[in-house]
Amino acid sequence: MGRGIKVWIGLAATLLLVAAGIIIGNNNSKAKYDIFQEQRGLFEAVKEETGLLMKSIDDRSNVRNTFIYSSNGNTAAHQFHEGANADLQDKVRQIAAVSGDELNFVRYSRQDGEDLLRFVFNWERERGNTYHIVYCESQSMVERAYEEEPVQYKLAKLADGWYGIEIQ
């Protein structure tokens, strides 16, 4: 084999490795959760405000999928739960803004007295898989909630009570 062919094969192999690195780097689900690490205070504040809101309007031990926020990617104004105060709305808008408007829903539910708060990003799958940032004190409840849905998912623990869910 001539020296020129070896050089071309070397260049082609290098380009393939670089391309594979870029693809893997862009597909890394952990990177999706950087928003949580960078804006954890906002997520915690929304969790607290949502807890107060739900306790004030519904004291049942089981509450199914109450939408606190829903944009669904529509051009219409974002819609909030009628009881969401201006402070809660502002914090959710901040999360939506720092996510590049990938935040589509904030959903709350309670089962057996345990809160489950879901921040749903990239619902339309415009930039890869849909992913959720979820708060629940019980990991087993998070797993049960997603096993009840007809989806495949990957769970990543982000912090105490906080989880990342990537819908496949």
Domain ranges of the chain: 1-28, 33-167
User: Which residues, in sequence order, are bridge partners of residue 120?
Assistant: 105, 132
Per-residue model confidence (pLDDT) at position 28:
46
Per-residue model confidence (pLDDT) at position 57:
77
Q: What is the spatial distance between Cα 92 and Cα 40, in angstroms, rounded to a whole number?
A: 12
pTM of the predicted model as reported, rounded to 2 decimal places: 0.76
Phi then psi dihedrals of residue 84, to 5 deg: -70, 120
**Residue stretches of the chain with pLDDT short of 50:** 18-29, 75
Q: What is the spatial distance between Cα 143 and Cα 35, in angstroms, rounded to a whole number?
A: 22
Q: At residue 58, what is the residue type? A: D
Per-residue model confidence (pLDDT) at position 78:
60
| Cα–chain center distance at 155 | 11
Q: Which of 132, 98, 93 is nearest to 116 (CA)?
A: 132
CA–CA distances in Å: residue 96 to residues 20, 42, 123, 156: 31, 11, 13, 21
The separation between the first and the last C-alpha atoms of the chain, rounded to the nearest angstrom, is 45
What pLDDT, in 10s, does the model give residues 118-150?
Answer: 999 987 666 677 899 999 999 999 998 888 888
Per-residue model confidence (pLDDT) at position 163:
95
Give the up-direction half-sphere exposure of residue 78: CA atoms within 13 A in the CB hemisphere.
21
Contact 92, 69 (CB under 8 A): yes
